Structure 1
Amino acid sequence: MTRIDFYVLADGARGDRLGLACRIAERAHGDGRRVLVHCPDMDLARQLDRLLWTFRDGSFLPHGLVGEVKPAYTPVLLSTDGEPTDEDQVLINLSTEVPEFFGRFERLCEPLDRDPTVLRAGRTRWKYYSDCGYDLKHHEVR
């Protein structure tokens, strides 16, 4: 069963959910895991692509947009549709919806910031996963 973790920026924490997604991806990559970041649209995927180059001084996180890089050589992939389907280790969800393909992943990470719309959508996803019987973890991030 997929492990599901919600990461919520604490009140007063710097950054937003995109920066938080970068931190989660960096940690997962550092643990030797492959990461697929699900973006709801290409505009957000391109914004995250730019941010992954600059979010931390002196770091490099090998990443790319699906369709523009060779997935076999790219451990952090940004996708709008869950492709490629053979990715199954860590999914970071930046959509406000439950990704229909999340069940194939070992782990699902849900980064949330303090934006009311993001929090409301996160609560809806939490309820959905909980109603489906998943054991959910909540992490407050500073």
Structure 2
Amino acid sequence: MPRIEFYILPGDKPDERLLAACKLALKGWRHGLPVFLRCADAQQCQALDELLWNFRTDTFLPHNLQSEDPLAPVVIGMNEEPAQANGLLINLAGDISAHLPQFQRIIEIIDQQPDRLAGGRENFRSYRQRGFDPRRVEL
């Protein structure tokens, strides 16, 4: 059963969520996990792809879009099934992935925007109803 954590950001700027996702992806990759960054839409995929190239000038994080290389160490996609199992899912979409069993760890990044807080609460309840034990992490 995957470990599920909700990372709660103190601010409400969308860029903070993407930056947190980049940092968590780097950490997961350094721990040897395949990482899947699940985005809400194609625009968010593109923004995250660009940010991953630039967020750390001293480190290269190998990544690619799901459509271009589903076996990259860090994959950016939406609702596709991950090509690699037992990895880390960083969920930036508003709903829960249909591919939960594929992952050993799931991170939901929640900021202080009211709609995101409400969606995060709903996802938290839904995970519990499915038998998971999600945890909350304050950043």
TM-score (norm. length: structure 2): 0.90
| Number of matched pairs | 138
Look up the match of 1:20: 20
Look up the match of 1:80: 78
For each residue in 1:66-116, what CA deviation from the matched residue of structure 2 results, as whole angstroms up to 9, or x when unmatched? Answer: 1223x33x2000111233344331111111011111222111110111211
Look up the match of 1:140: 138
What are the residue-to-residue correspondences of 1:49-128 with 2, within 5 Å? 49-69=49-69, 71-72=70-71, 74-128=72-126
CA distance in 1, matches of 2:22, 2:124: 21
CA distance in 2, matches of 1:104, 1:12: 30
TM-score (norm. length: structure 1): 0.88
Q: Structure 1: give runs of 5+ residues left out of the alignment.
A: none
Calculate percent identity across the aligned residue pairs: 36
CA distance in 2, matches of 1:116, 1:32: 35
Deviating 4+ runs (over 6 angstroms): none
RMSD, aligned CA? 1.8
Contact 1:6 1:109 in 2 (8 A): yes
How far 1:12 moved relative to its partner? 8.9
SS at match of 1:4: strand
Contact 2:33 2:86 in 1 (8 A): no
Look up the match of 1:39: 39
How far 1:124 moved relative to its partner? 0.6
Q: Structure 2: give runs of 5+ residues left out of the alignment.
A: none
CA distance in 1, matches of 2:82, 2:125: 27
The structure-2 alpha-carbon separation of the partners of 1:114 and 1:100, relative to structure 1 and needing over 3 Å to count, comes to same
The structure-2 alpha-carbon separation of the partners of 1:123 and 1:12, relative to structure 1 and needing over 3 Å to count, comes to closer
How far 1:140 moved relative to its partner? 0.8
